[in-house]
Amino acid sequence: MNAVELIDQQILAQPKRLALWFPDHGSLSFEELDALAQRIAGQLLRKGCRRGDNILLGLELAPHLYATILAMARLGLTALLVEPWMPLDRINTTIEATRPRAFLAGWKGRLWGLRARAIRQIPVWLLEKDLATGERHKGPAEVMDGPEPLIITFTSGTTGQPKGVVRSHAYLLEQCKGIHRAFDYHQEQGPDLCIFANLALANLAAGRPSIIIPSRWSAEDLTTLNSLPREMQPETMIVGPTFLERVLRSAQLAHLRSYFVGGAQTDCHLLEQAGARWPAARGHLVYGSTEVEPVAHTDARESVRRSRDRGYFQALFLGPLDTQLQSQVKNQQFWITGPHVCGFYLANEKANQEYKYQDEAGHIWHRMGDRIGESADGLWYQGRDQSPLDDFLLEQRLYLALGHSRAMIERDMDGAALIYCENARQNLATIRTVVPDVKHIFQVKMRRDRRHRARIDRQATKKGYPWRVG
């Protein structure tokens, strides 16, 4: 059994049920998804793609993306996903190392691909508009071994070489199990408001409709949710804190039964607003990463209560570790292992040495990169493991004094405190009261990570023309 077989079971069991809905593309039933996947599979075979080939995808979050993943899984192909904002030299290095047989893209993806020399040299190009043309391939799916990769996602931070996160067929099945277990799939079967592509795959495997909002996250798209028919109204959502803010501004979600918030530190007041908007819904805080999802989860109201009791501005209580994972702390670094933990990175040995190791029993351990405190009731987030704990706690006190979390503390070469804050000029006295030894205060526009638009990108913020005001 693998994750794709779970999706195929749902296609047979409930072909007419809604599978995917997009504001720009309308709805797709399970049988329509299957038909589109069969046509895409036919095109890939006609272009000479065979089991074991790598295929670079430049498709947007739309029906063709999910149908293509399904088609590739059935043919034994591997999907390569590359962060589009990655510098060109790193894109070229990544493509040269993986040697894709084909490049599948929409018009935006095609423009992106034309910029990179290595992508231009890929032998087969297929445009999105041509994917669904021609005859269907209805042959039996390839029998895939567990370790064989289905998706390889290349990510890159502000520095360093890209690292390939390998999601094998076995891993994706275990990830689906973990998501179903943690996100109440035994209780919820209604439509799920979804912004994360991997969670939509888990919905398909469970036979649940996904209401997918494009990456622009526009108020117009969110307002459209209010006019959907009752059977398409989201009953759950799995989102990050920034997306939650936009939902609270633009969407009613009158039938919401539960919601899950993760991807970055979340301000307590934001979870309190969600609790007030949907008092009958179950709120959850989720902790995980690109390499493993989920790691821990807990009741959002409980996390807020415990965090406020400790004087934190953000919800930092994460709840107990997932039952299928094991953890250990070495040198203040939090490591985990388990069936839904990704294995070694592809094409980045330095990252493997820093974030992976295999024990004597053959288990692969992954370093989360976070400092995690462990108590009798569960885990506590305490900042990144390479940053001083005292500064993390000082930031929480600064957030409380400011009334927001749009600020950060950095240290110069001499260890002196530097404060970067969005409204620093109006809060000079407050900042100096909380951090009396501050050396310089800068007014900035806080930069956020590209993926969730929630976690502060400290390097980008420091480079973003800070204006010294104190």
pLDDT for residue 412? 94
Classify 3-171 by CATH class.
Answer: alpha beta
pLDDT for residue 276? 98
pLDDT for residue 175? 92
Judged against a pLDDT cut of 60, whether residue 158 lies above it is answered with no
DSSP-assigned letters across all residues of 266-277: -BHHHHHHHHHH
For the ranges 40-44, 86-90, 180-184, the one whose mean pLDDT is highest: 40-44
Say how far apart CA 434 and CA 390 lie, in whole Å. 13
Domains of the chain, by residue range, sit at: 3-171, 389-468
What does the mean pLDDT of the chain come to?
94
Long-range contacts, 228-231 (Cβ 8 Å, 24+):
228/21, 230/255, 231/18, 231/191
Say how far apart CA 116 and CA 371 lie, in whole Å. 37
pLDDT tens-digit series, residues 7-18: 999 999 999 999
> Do β-strands 296-299 and 282-287 pair in parallel, antiparallel, or remain unpaired?
antiparallel
pLDDT for residue 3? 82
pLDDT tens-digit series, residues 250-261: 999 999 999 999
Are 169 and 3 in contact by the 8 Å Cβ rule? The answer is yes
Judged against a pLDDT cut of 80, whether residue 1 lies above it is answered with no
Q: What is the mean pLDDT of residues 245-271?
A: 96
Over pLDDT 90: what percentage of the chain?
85
Judged against a pLDDT cut of 90, whether residue 146 lies above it is answered with no
pLDDT for residue 118? 97
Per-residue tokens: 390: 């005292």
- Pick 291 or 300 by higher pLDDT: 300
Say how far apart CA 75 and CA 140 lie, in whole Å. 9
Would the pTM of this model clear 0.75, i.e. be above it? yes
Cα 153 vs. chain centroid, distance in angstroms? Answer: 11
**Which range, of 40-44, 146-150, 195-199, 457-461, averages the lowest pLDDT?**
195-199
pLDDT tens-digit series, residues 55-67: 999 999 899 999 9
Are 318 and 303 in contact by the 8 Å Cβ rule? The answer is yes
> Do β-strands 124-127 and 163-168 pair in parallel, antiparallel, or remain unpaired?
unpaired
Q: Label residue 45 exposed, middle or buried (CB < 10 Å: 0-12, 13-18, 19+).
A: middle
